[in-house]
């Protein structure tokens, strides 16, 4: 009894400072709605006309747990301990910079804030539809798709194109007509939107809700910087996506319908980024009144692929691709051993979260991963500059051992 009581006192005394400095979140055993509910329309328009001054926050998985680590629930800057000053003139209200190969989130701002994506949503469109649509298949574009509002590739209603050509229109010049034509080819707009939402959930993107294949605003069509990083990583794994996104020029063929239309030249809108930034891999931009400027891109530095997502950004004083490049250079210069601020979900993580929700509670594997994520969130085991967790445990074991020995001697003396 003496040894047990003393051990408990010692354990509390050693661990209490760390527990107070690093708050923990109680595990949830109940299902959580993903994606969360979005704001309701405030007028009769088809979409918001201005940015939401209070964008909602996501960040919870179907099991109710923080996605990517508890620190990522912050609405502010999330930086590693001792990080140098950020580059000047970053304009995005939400952003992440990620090591896509390791899955490490190196820094962020409001990573789970839910914003309109504009045309960077076309990255998800491509990830969802590429497996469904062979490149050499020929399709006839409807007049409805060809007349879609916003940016156009120049598809002609009644014209015949290969899927390859339509994807080039989607990614080179952000053609909304291309997005709608691809949706029709995949079975229709409703089926494509459903597929995109399912793809987002499969990838662990629980902040995203899709209403249009093009990224044109909907009242409830929202995503997060975290989710867009997941889509970027998935897109880089698709060779066709990389090929479509990085070609300098393409041409849509002439069409004989409606009196005839000549060929249309397509020039890559991200050519400056792709040709002037060393190691540039892919990029996609977007703009709507509600979303403002958005950007997603990847750069290879030192054998690592870094991804950057910018939401609700501006193009002045630096263009988005310049801001993204500065963030990658900043991340690349972090000291060796710098702990990430969070992690991108892996396919195993998302599958396990769904299984845990169905089972009504976390498995041992999930609990282990959460403990590892808690280590990332608290700086790798140290309680805000306190004694590292490993050292704490060694001290506890030594003191408990001594307490047991002391108690045994007391028993023998009685």
- 174 belongs to the catalytic site: yes
Catalytic residue of the set 119, 151, 178, 224 = 119
- The HSE-up count of residue 73 (CA atoms within 13 Å, CB side) is 12
Q: Which pLDDT score is estimated for 363?
A: 54
**Closest CA relative to residue 269, chosen from 166, 161, 152, 162:** 152
DSSP one-letter code for 139: E
2-14 per-position pLDDT tens digit:
444 444 433 333 3
Catalytic residue of the set 47, 74, 122, 151 = 122
CA gap 224, 212 in Å, rounded: 16
- The dihedral region occupied by 310, where left means phi > 0, alpha psi between -120 and 50, and beta the remainder, is beta
- 119 belongs to the catalytic site: yes
Q: Are 340 and 106 in contact (CB under 8 A)?
A: yes
Fold assignment, 23-382: Beta-lactamase (3.40.710)
Please state the separation of Cα 300 from the chain's center in Å: 18
Catalytic residue of the set 3, 28, 74, 174 = 174
CA gap 326, 89 in Å, rounded: 10
Domain parsing of the chain, residue ranges: 23-382
- Stretches in the chain below the pLDDT threshold 50: 1-30, 370, 373-374, 380-396, 400, 403-414
Q: Is residue 209 helix, strand or coil?
A: strand
Q: Are 280 and 297 in contact (CB under 8 A)?
A: yes
CA gap 234, 171 in Å, rounded: 15
Q: Residue 113 forms beta bridges with which residues?
A: 57
Q: Which pLDDT score is estimated for 357?
A: 55
CA gap 44, 22 in Å, rounded: 46
Q: Are 192 and 186 in contact (CB under 8 A)?
A: yes
Token couple for 213: 């294949």
Q: How would you write 144-178 as a 3-class SS string?
A: HHHCCCCCCCCCCCCCEEEHHHHHHHHHHCCCHHH
CA gap 163, 72 in Å, rounded: 38
Q: Is residue 328 helix, strand or coil?
A: helix
Cβ-based neighbour number of residue 213 at 10 Å: 29
CA gap 294, 285 in Å, rounded: 6
Cβ-based neighbour number of residue 50 at 10 Å: 9
Whether the CA torsion 41, 46, 50, 54 is positive or negative: it is: positive
Q: Are 217 and 41 in contact (CB under 8 A)?
A: no
Q: Which residue is listed with tokens 């006309």? A: 49
CA gap 33, 11 in Å, rounded: 38
Give the phi and the psi of residue 383 in degrees, each rounded to 5.
-90, 85
Cβ-based neighbour number of residue 13 at 10 Å: 12
Token couple for 319: 């263009």
CA gap 91, 306 in Å, rounded: 19
């Amino acid at each position: 009894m003496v040894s047990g009581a003393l051990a408990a006192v010692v354990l509390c005394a050693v661990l209490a400072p760390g527990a107070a400095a690093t708050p923990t979140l109680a595990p949830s055993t109940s299902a959580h709605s993903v994606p969360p509910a979005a704001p309701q329309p405030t007028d009769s328009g088809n979409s918001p006309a201005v940015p939401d001054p209070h964008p909602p926050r996501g960040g919870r998985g179907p099991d109710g747990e923080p996605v990517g680590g508890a620190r990522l629930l912050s609405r502010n800057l999330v930086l590693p301990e001792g990080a140098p000053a950020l580059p000047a003139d970053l304009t995005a209200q939400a952003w992440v910079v990620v090591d896509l190969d390791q899955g490490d989130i190196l820094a962020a701002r409001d990573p789970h804030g839910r914003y309109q994506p504009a045309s960077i949503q076309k990255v998800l469109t491509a990830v969802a539809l590429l497996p469904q649509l062979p490149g050499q298949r020929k399709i006839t574009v409807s007049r409805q798709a060809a007349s879609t509002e916003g940016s156009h590739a120049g598809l002609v209603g009644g014209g015949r194109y290969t899927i390859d050509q339509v994807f080039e229109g989607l990614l080179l010049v952000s053609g909304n007509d291309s997005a709608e034509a691809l949706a029709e080819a995949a079975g229709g707009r409703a089926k494509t939107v459903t597929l995109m939402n399912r793809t987002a959930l499969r990838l662990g993107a629980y902040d995203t809700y899709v209403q249009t294949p093009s990224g044109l605003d909907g009242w409830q069509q929202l995503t997060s910087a975290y989710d867009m990083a997941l889509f970027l990583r998935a897109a880089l794994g698709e060779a066709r996506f990389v090929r479509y996104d990085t070609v300098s020029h393409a041409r849509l063929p002439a069409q004989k319908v409606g009196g005839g239309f000549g060929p249309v030249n397509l020039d890559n809108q991200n050519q400056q980024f792709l040709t002037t930034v060393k190691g540039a891999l892919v990029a996609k931009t977007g703009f709507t009144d509600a979303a403002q400027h958005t950007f997603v891109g990847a750069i290879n530095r030192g054998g690592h692929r870094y991804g950057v997502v910018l939401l609700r950004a501006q193009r002045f004083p630096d263009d988005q691709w310049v801001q993204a490049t500065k963030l990658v250079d900043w991340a690349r210069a972090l000291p060796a051993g710098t702990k990430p601020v969070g992690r991108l979900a892996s396919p195993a993580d998302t599958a396990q979260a769904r299984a845990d929700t169905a089972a009504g509670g976390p498995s041992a594997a999930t609990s282990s991963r959460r403990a590892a994520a808690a280590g990332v969130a608290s700086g790798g085991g140290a309680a805000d500059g306190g004694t590292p967790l490993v050292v704490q445990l060694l001290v506890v074991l030594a003191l408990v051992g001594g307490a047991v020995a002391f108690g045994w001697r007391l028993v023998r003396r009685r």
